[in-house]
A = this chain, B = another copy of it.
Amino acid sequence: MLVRFGVSIPRELLERYDRMVRAKGYTSRSEALRDLIRNALVEQEWQEEREVAGTLTLVYDHHTGDLPGALTGLQHEHHHLIVSVLHVHLDRHTCLEVLVVRGKPRELRGLADRLGSLKGVKHSRLTTTTLGKDLG
C-alpha cells in the first residue's frame, strides 16, 4: 500500500538533487529517494546480523595447483549458504566466478575469507545486498 508524505527542503538543494537524479536516468524523484532509503536500510541489515543476500565474486587462475578441486570442496561444505554459481572464462587462464549467497552476515564473511584466501584466487569481493523483504 502506497502512502504519501511531504518533505520540505531548501530550493537550491532540491535543484541540485534533481539534476543528479536526471543524470542517473531516474524518471521520478520519488523513485530516486526510495532508492536512497533502501540503500540505507540494506547497510543496516548487514550490521544487524539479519539474514541477507549477497554475491561473492572470485577471479582466479584455474591452473593453480588443485584450485578448482579446493574451491568445489569448500563450496560444498557451505552449500547451505550458496544458492548458485555463475562461471565465466575470462581468458585461457583466468576464471571469474560469482556465487549468490544467503545467510547471516557473519557466516557470509567467513565463507568469503575461506575462499578468498585460497592460493590462486587473485581477487575476491563480497557484495552486500538484500533478500528484498519489506523494501517496497
Q: Which residues of A contact B (CB under 8 A)?
A: 1-14, 16-17, 20, 23-42, 44, 53, 55, 57, 59-61, 83-86, 88, 90-91, 93-94, 96, 98, 100, 102, 113-114, 116-117, 119, 121-123, 125, 127-136
Cβ A2 vs Cβ B9 within 8 A? yes
- Chain A interface, DSSP helix/strand/loop, else mixed: mixed
This chain: copies in complex: 4
Report chain B residues within 8 Å CB of A1.
Answer: 10-11
- A-B contacts besides A2-B8, A9-B30, A88-B100, 4 pairs, CB < 8 Å: A2-B11, A17-B37, A59-B131, A86-B98
Task: Contacts A17-B41, A117-B26, A122-B130 given; indicate if A10 touches B2 (C-beta within 8 A).
Answer: yes
Report B-chain residues with C-beta under 8 Å of the C-beta of A59.
53, 129-132, 135
The chain B residue sitting closest to A33, CB to CB, is B7
Q: Which residue of B lies closest to A74 (CB)?
A: B25
Asked whether A123 and B130 contact (CB < 8 A) given A53-B59, A88-B84, A88-B100, the answer is yes
